[in-house]
A and B are shown apart, each in its own frame.
Chain A
Amino acid sequence: MSLKDVLLPFLAWGKVFKNPVTIKDPFNDRPGSARYRGFHKNDIEACIGCGACEEICQNAAIDMVPVKGIETKDGDSGLRPMVDYGRCCWCALCVDVCSTNSLNLSNEYTWVENDPDKFRYIPGVDKKDWDNNELGWKKPENYDLNEPFRIQMEELKPEKRDSSFIEFVKGYSKEQAEAEADRCIDCGLCTATCPAHMAIPEYIKAIRNDDLEEGLRIMYETNPLPEICGRICTHKCETVCAMGHKGDALSIRWLKRYIADQIPESKYKDILNQGNDISPKSKKIAIIGSGPAGLSAAYYLTNLGYKTKIFEALPEAGGMMRYGIPEYRLPYDQIDKDVKYILSLGVEIEYNIKIGKDISLEELGKEYDAVFAGTGLHLGRSTRIPGAEHENVYFATDLLREISLGNDIHVGNKIVVIGGGNVAMDITRSLVRLQNQKNIKVDVTATSLESEDIMPADREEIDESREEKAIIDPGWGPKEIEIKDGKIKGLRTIKCLSVFDDEGRFNPKFDEKDKKFFEADMVVESIGQGMDLTYISEDIKTMVKFSDRGRIIVNKDFQSSLDWFFVGGDIIEGPDVIHGIANGHKAAKGIDKFLNK
């Protein structure tokens, strides 16, 4: 110890002459930093009510609640997060996980209130001073708590696929499927939008748990055609998937396929525990058409214990799935797998029977306790332009059916397809394959009224067609098929300026002066299909109510105004496979209800 030790501490007195720092601060307004984790704010329009924020909050500070003025719609649960500041610890995990980036924290941190209940509030709905604060915590850049982008599906290269009808989408491996399944946030927005309301997050979870049998059970609860839907479903679910806001939607369709692909049909009965304990009821049901609607109705009715019999006009089951959709997208053995299982449960089927011709609807009505019709849209629609009656002008669906039946079809050297939908792409790509197989230089052009941005075909269909060297030249209105010396010379078109009017009605506008001539020796029309309801006799027609537009009017059970006559599928809703499946399922329940009244 020295004198220094007594004197040095007195240097502290030097601080007396410095400005005090702690005295003023409590009275100064001090904004939180740019990243401050203060009170919540939510862009209520951008939020989709997916509930990921609620799910991640370890304090259970978030409840998803309905909000006035926000409707439940496709891709939006209509719920919004309510935060309870009695629980929140401002960790901002909810912000980091938010699917839409709508949820943020402001840099505001003082809030005085007498009523404790006020601290439970709905950000963005209950207006707050900090709603427009730009500063505060946002999800950091390049920081994601779940993978925004999907596992890319492997496909055959264009040069490997353009001359063959073998399936070109390879399917996920176990690792790929599990990684893709891992991205799901279990929100269920997809389930709400799926026409069959499939329990998507549950079967995706089964993939994560590597419990594919459970996955199969979950799928069959609402969809007895998983191999088919796993390949060609229109996947409305994916258009609303919450992850789509962050990056890519989940590949829900490919995941469905993954489950079904891994399990042989021979194991289905055991896994689904079906076929043994189905108690047969005395009532019988006839089903017209073996498309998805008919098959689905047959499956669910059989499981309810009814004897069901399908009458099919064509030589094999599947409807448009077999006779429309090309094999390279949906191989026949996959259709067979799904159909075989349904038939193995005791569903009877008779092929080459056309109701209305071989057997009348009245007869069916008498012999059976109820009838379900899912007869689809099989009539081609013509543009009715001059020249359309030429023998080398075809309907797309007719050609596709012939290809499926294994018949040789006429393949031109220069082909023009009129139409911009998926069916047009299917026939375009099928014709490319046939030209390659016949050693004809590929020359298929598809043209549509719609410009490319509003073409109804899926983006990937357009891109893949081009990869296969088809020409897609949209935005032209067909005027005339030019014929010289009995031979087709080509298609005359004029520029289509717009397809719909201001009210959204189909009302195309053209520029007559802007012309284009597509040289061709074969023309295919693919502008939609119509229904053939001639099997409904005039007598029955008087008992069945039709809408102004010629559709049969049905109730929620898909029951027509003639009580034993149920209808579904393309002739009511859709047109796609999953609507058919959903209709068939609902009709099966409706028939059960009707027969047990």
Chain B
Amino acid sequence: MLKFEQDRSKFPEEKDGKLEIDLDSQKFIKIWQGPNHPGITGNMALELTVSGDEVVESKTHVGYLHRGFEKLMERRKFIQCFPICIRMCVPEPDINEYCLAASVEDLAGIEVPDMAKWLRTLVLEMARLVILLRGVPGQGGTMSLGMGVQWGVYVRDLMIDRFEELTGGRVYHMYIAPGGVRGLLPEGFKGRMEEVLKKIDEFVVDIDNLMFSNAVFKKRTKGIGVIKPEWIEQYSVVGPNARAAGINRDVRKDYPYLMYDKLDFESYVGKDSDIYTRSRVRWHDLQTSVDMIRQIMAKMPNKGDIRAKTPNVLHWKIPKGETYQRLESSRGEYGFYMVTDGSAYPRRINLRGPSYNSAVLLLEKMLVNANISDVSSMMVSLATCPPEIER
């Protein structure tokens, strides 16, 4: 159970492994952060018990946008799942499209054409940029450094424009469908993409000056919100959060998929495992993606098949089986576990994302002893996508 390192006299007693919080004692109050709070990631709530300005207990509450996506998909034909699954992570929807498609293709024994694989890789990196362009400056946003967020939203919008011309959609792209992708690059796309990448290059420098070389930001993020190395295994910490703790975990390298083994990249690894380092890892990830997109556009062919032949999607039955298909999302390993029973409908699709571990297990643990003013920064530093927890 909890171990308090400082003076514990004002903290609740522990009895049978549980904290005894007597609100009538007037020593503690409960504060709800969220579900509607500018400092919360999406619709999620933290039920904080504070003593003075120190958090003594935190409980994460989800369920505010539960629509039963996994269940809905059990009633949908395979092709009909892809417009639904995206909703399990709004800011980075494409990762769901890929996991669904890869699962279906794996179970059906379908090999996707190379052209489609290049385009999928491209789109997944574009999606990473879209979420990080807001997510990285968003760390500053939690301490009222709103300007970076404004800049981020602007460049992110330019990337969304590229999504719009490639996929026809801005937020939900519905581009990676089982069997392939839904279109080649439009004429002149690469040139316009390069312009956006240049803007991102500028943004990277701006954010370095504004945020990472900012005395206040440093003061409020260094040494705060540390994920201890021993927690990494225990709580299955993945992606940037693990890398900030010095553990190099990146599905793109560890279990290469799509065209990642044809790209030259290194995942950035930090060491201090605090808010600052995690933020810095993401800032590096952003640059890695920019570089990858440049490589992809240089290496991919201009023409090719975008869809493998599949059975008629209106009655596509998939043989009995199960599979787990994963990728490296902006938050780390993200995967679909799919079970099929030979019918035209998935028997079960289960999403395994990093948000549950971050927002429930880690966060509840990490917030004990935290200063209430750091709650938002700590939460944002873990990067959470609430619909991914309550799908």
Contacts and interface: CB of A to CB of B under 8 A. Distances in A.
Contacts of A44: none
Nearest to B172: A89
B65 interface: no
A22 B154 contact: yes
Contacts of A8: 209-210, 213-214
Contacts, number: 114
A147 B179 CA distance: 13
Interface string B196-237: 000000000010011101110011000000000000000000
Interface string B313-337: 1110000000000000000000000
A12 B147 contact: yes
A249 B79 CA distance: 23
A362 interface: no
Given A5-B213, A182-B312, A92 B154 contact: no
Interface stretch (B24-32, B45-53, B303-311, B348-356): B303-311
A145 B79 contact: yes
Contact of A145 (B147, B165, B313): B313
B70 to A, nearest CB: 15
Contact of B314 (A12, A35, A105, A186): A186
A4 B213 contact: yes
B148 to A, nearest CB: 8
Interface stretch (A113-121, A135-143, A461-469, A571-579): A135-143
B76 A5 contact: no
A517 B268 CA distance: 89
A32 B213 contact: no
Interface string B145-183: 001001101100000010011111100101000001011
B186 interface: yes
Given A34-B165, A90-B169, A140-B183, A58 B215 contact: no
A206 to B, nearest CB: 12
Interface in A41-85: 52, 55-56, 58-59
Contacts of B169: 37, 90
B80 interface: yes
B83 A208 contact: no
Given A8-B209, A22-B154, A147-B309, A35 B166 contact: yes
Interface of A: 1, 4-6, 8-9, 11-12, 15, 21-22, 32-37, 52, 55-56, 58-59, 89-93, 96-97, 105, 137, 140-147, 182-186, 205, 208
**Chain B interface size range:** 35 or more
Residue of B161, B183, B309 contacting most chain A CB atoms (<10 Å)? B183
Given A12-B209, A56-B313, A93 B167 contact: no
B313 A137 contact: no
Residue of B161, B166, B168, B183 contacting most chain A CB atoms (<10 Å)? B168
A91 B83 contact: yes
Contacts of B218: 1, 5
A482 B150 CA distance: 96
A1 B217 CA distance: 11
Nearest to B219: A1
16 contacts: A11-B209, A12-B147, A33-B168, A35-B183, A58-B83, A91-B82, A97-B313, A140-B183, A140-B306, A143-B180, A145-B313, A146-B312, A146-B313, A182-B312, A184-B312, A208-B315
Nearest to A6: B215
B84 interface: yes
B191 to A, nearest CB: 15
Given A5-B218, A35-B186, 14 more contacts: A1-B218, A4-B213, A8-B209, A9-B214, A11-B206, A11-B210, A35-B166, A58-B77, A89-B172, A93-B83, A97-B313, A145-B310, A146-B312, A186-B315
A501 B259 CA distance: 65
A5 to B, nearest CB: 4
A137 to B, nearest CB: 5
B314 A56 contact: yes
A56 B219 CA distance: 55
A58 B165 contact: no
B313 A34 contact: no
Given A143-B307, A146-B313, A35 B209 contact: no
Interface string B238-262: 0000000000000000000000000
Contacts of B211: 9
A30 B166 CA distance: 17
A56 B306 contact: no
Contacts of A205: 315
Contact of B165 (A11, A12, A33): A33
Contacts of B307: 142-144
A137 B84 CA distance: 19
A54 to B, nearest CB: 11
Contacts of B167: 35
Contacts of A11: 206, 209-210
Contacts of B165: 33-35
B123 to A, nearest CB: 14
A90 to B, nearest CB: 7
Contacts of B82: 91
A284 B305 CA distance: 65
B115 to A, nearest CB: 10
A59 B83 CA distance: 9
Contact of B164 (A33, A91, A97, A140): A33
Residue of A6, A8, A97, A141 contacting most chain B CB atoms (<10 Å)? A8
Given A32-B164, A33-B164, A35-B166, A58 B80 contact: yes
Contacts of A12: 147, 206, 209-210
Residue of B80, B81, B150, B184 contacting most chain A CB atoms (<10 Å)? B80
Contacts of A15: 151
Contacts of B209: 8-9, 11-12
A215 B154 CA distance: 60
Contacts of A58: 76-77, 80-81, 83-84
